[in-house]
Amino acid sequence: MHTQAKASLGLNWINRFAQLGENFFTRLRPTPLPDVRWVSCNHGLALEMGLPPDWINRPGVLEGLSGCAQIAGSDTLASVYSGHQFGHWAGQLGDGRAIYLGEAQTDLGNLEIQLKGAGLTPYSRSGDGRAVLRSSIREYLCSEAMHALGIPTTRALCLTGSRGIVYREEVERAAVVTRVSPSFIRFGHFEHFAAKGDTASLRTLADFVITHYTHLLEESEELEAFENEALRTQITQNPYALMLYRVTRKTAKLMALWQCVGFCHGVMNTDNMSILGLTLDYGPFQFMDAFVPDHICNHTDQGGRYAYDQQPNVAYWNLYCLGQALLPLIGDKDLSVECLDIYKVLYPSFKQEIVLRKLGLSKLHSIPTDVAQELIGKLEKVMSLQEVDFTIFWRTLSTALSHFSEKNPGTNTLTTHSAEFKEINALFSNTRAQSAWHEWFAEYLKLISSGSEDLAEISGMMLDANPKFVLRNHLGEAAIKSAQRGDFSEVQILLKILSTPFDEHPEFQSYADTPPDWASSITISCSS
Ligand code: AMP
Ligand code: MG
């Protein structure tokens, strides 16, 4: 039951989205769950936000963040959006189980706070408005893991559980994730009003994004990708074209970041694409174990539309949907296409920049683009020939160079068969991969030696660019199994490790190992 007294999070609420007008959302109350309890609190995020230290102990906060009581200052609502799902227009969707509490001023800037799994909304369609503990743990942990990896994402403040039951393939426990983000506006919000021919609302929404989030979308020297000066001027003078370009740029960067940690989203429908270029809506995602470029992480995605190597193209396709929706505002088809097609320049250049950083090849090495592209292409080929573990490969390469520099201070002559490279060489055990690996490795070591930087510095950079820990499916699964038995300690351990994924954490070495055999039987689908 909703209690009368409102819980306070000690925040100042501004709720700007709630002022947009009622054709953007429906006001409602969350539906309470029985016997709610904390599963995990993200104290690190709470501290960053500047929440009062006693926030979790304040009366009514547990209930408030589980949808069972009101939080002072909140203005609860569900927003309406539409979207393309698996390549087809799906019509109206909307927040079917996420309820906006409001937007608060925090030390991280203004943040919207949402309760995912807090009950039915007018947009629930055939769903029950709930989220299961299993998928809520995955979202809670993964969003923090992504943040710690330096990848733009929505975040999670806490996770609460309940004795309430929900029905999926089997009976499961309900949970609520408290998500935070500067905004949860999706491509699908724009598609919704465009499809209805409601240009006034479309403009209101675009103006809202431009007014409130330009500081998050713009970047210095951002139009440099366009060689044509006249085109740059044209874009600058059209606020909606400029917004589309900025979203394109943010999305291109996000895709490059995902690819470089082996992240597969699993359901890149346009309603799951953030207008701010954030990773949004964690469902059947996966960090790849073995490097298989066409790996499909979502068992519902039988055609592989959202396979790992398809993601950058899908993002471009999704951006076209956004561009189409914004066309009535931009008013110039050619200009829209220019703002979208620059993706083909931006994405590969972001990816190259990140991969070179992972390889320890900084600007000082001044590697020409064609050499870099060839080096990266060959490496991906070798990695796929071996189907080497993605995260272990990159981390082992970094530690190999680090060990070499420790043992051979000042030496710049590196040969593939040095004792310190035993471990990395051993990763390429199959005969087809072995010779290709040695050829690539020799070429790479030559490039590394050609720079003026010290090897210790280079390997230090690499250890900061290649995480030791990612949320592998089997790690999440173990935490889920314990949590389903009422033991949340594994969630806490994972939160700690994944919040500092570049640290060694020697006591948690096994969390960095290849998956056990049973991991191959884990199936992750859209069911959540
Ligand atoms: P997703 O693929 O999880 O991003 O969800 C697509 C649409 O289905 C969105 O409108 C969601 O709000 C809605 N949805 C997903 N699961 C549920 C649920 N259990 N209850 C109500 N709506 C849901
Ligand atoms: Mg979604």
Which atom of ligand 1 lies nearest, measured to the CA of 131? 19
Phi, psi (5° rounding) for residue 16?
Answer: -70, -35
Structure tokens belonging to residue 45: 């995020």
For a mutational test of ligand 1's pocket, the pick from 84, 97, 176, i.e. the residue with the most ligand atoms closer than 8 A to its C-beta, is 97
Computed from CA positions of residues 67, 73, 78, 81, in that sequence, does the dihedral angle turn out positive or negative? negative
User: What is the rounded CA–CA span in Å between residue 166 and residue 282?
Assistant: 19
| Ligand 1 atom closest to the CA of 271, numbered from 1 | 4
- Give the distance (Å) from ligand 2 centre to CA of residue 74: 23
Torsion angles phi and psi, residue 83, rounded to 5: 165, 170
pLDDT given for residue 70 in this prediction: 96
Span 404-416, average pLDDT: 88
pLDDT one-digit tens code per residue, 280-323: 999 999 999 999 999 999 999 999 999 999 999 999 999 999 99
Ligand with the closest atom to the CA of 125: 1
331 Rama class: left (phi>0) / alpha (psi -120 to 50) / beta: left
Phi, psi at 75, each rounded to 5°: -145, 80
| Measured distance CA(88)–CA(269) in Å, rounded | 9
CA of 393 to the centre of ligand 1 (A): 36
> How does DSSP assign 154-205, residue by residue?
-EEEEEEEEEEEEESSSEEEEEEEEEEES---BHHHHHHHHHTT-HHHHHHH
Q: Atom of ligand 1 at shortest distance to CA of 81?
A: 10
β-partners of residue 264 are 286
| Ordered DSSP codes for 42-97 | -HHHHHHHT--TTGGGSTTHHHHTTTSSPBTT---EEE--EEEETTEEEEE---SS
pLDDT at 516 (0 to 100) = 93
402 within 8 A of 459, measured Cβ to Cβ:
yes
- pLDDT bin (cut points 50, 70, 90) of residue 4 is low
Instruction: Return all residues near 393 (Cβ < 8 A) that are at least 6 apart.
Output: 291, 383, 424, 427
pTM: 0.97
Residues with CB under 6 A from ligand 1: 93-97, 123-124, 127-130, 267, 272, 281, 283, 526
User: Nearest C-alpha to atom 13 of ligand 1 is from which residue?
Assistant: 96
What is the C-alpha to C-alpha distance for residues 323 and 336, in angstroms, rounded to an integer?
Answer: 6
The overall average pLDDT reported for the chain is 96
Q: pLDDT, tens digit, for every residue of 448-476?
A: 998 778 899 999 999 999 999 999 999 99
Q: Which helix (H) or strand (E) holds 131?
A: strand 131-132
Token representation of residue 112: 């919207």
Please name which of 78, 82, 77 lies closest in space to residue 92, comparing C-alpha atoms: 82
Atom of ligand 1 nearest to the CA of 94: 10
Using the predicted structure, report yes or no on whether residue 95 has a pLDDT greater than 70. yes
- Measured CA to CA, the distance from residue 206 to residue 210 in angstroms comes to 6
Strands 37-41 and 286-287: unpaired
Strand partners, 114: 100, 179
| Residue minimizing CA distance to atom 8 of ligand 1 | 96
Please report which confidence band the pLDDT of residue 418 belongs to, taking 50, 70 and 90 as the band edges: very high
The count of other CB atoms within 10 Å of the CB of residue 227 is 8
Span 359-388, average pLDDT: 94
pLDDT in tens, 34-79: 999 999 999 999 999 999 999 999 999 999 999 999 999 999 999 9
Residues 6+ apart with CB under 8 A from 56: 38, 41, 46, 62, 158
For a mutational test of ligand 1's pocket, the pick from 33, 95, 99, 125, i.e. the residue with the most ligand atoms closer than 8 A to its C-beta, is 125
CA of 175 to the centre of ligand 2 (A): 17
Alpha-carbon torsion angle 286, 288, 289, 292, nearest 10: 140
Q: Give the pLDDT score at 3.
A: 47
pLDDT, position 526: 81
The ranges assigned to domains in the chain are 3-184, 189-354, 371-528
Catalytic residues: 271
Here the tokens at position 40 are 């995990």
Measured distance CA(142)–CA(104) in Å, rounded: 23
CA distance linking residue 474 with residue 35, whole number of Å: 29
> What Å distances lie between residue 256 and 203, 315, 365, CA to CA?
30, 11, 21
29-39 pLDDT, tens digit per residue, is 999 999 999 99
Residue 489 pLDDT grade (very low, low, confident, very high; cuts 50, 70, 90):
very high
| Structure tokens that stand for 157 in this block | 């403040």
Span 188-208, average pLDDT: 98
% residues pLDDT > 70 (the chain): 99
Residue 162 confidence (pLDDT) above 50: yes
Distance 98 CA to ligand 1 centre (A): 9
> Residue 38: helix, strand or coil by DSSP?
strand
State what percent of residues in the chain have pLDDT above 90: 93
Q: Distance from the CA of 151 to the center of ligand 1, in angstroms?
A: 24
pLDDT at position 373: 96
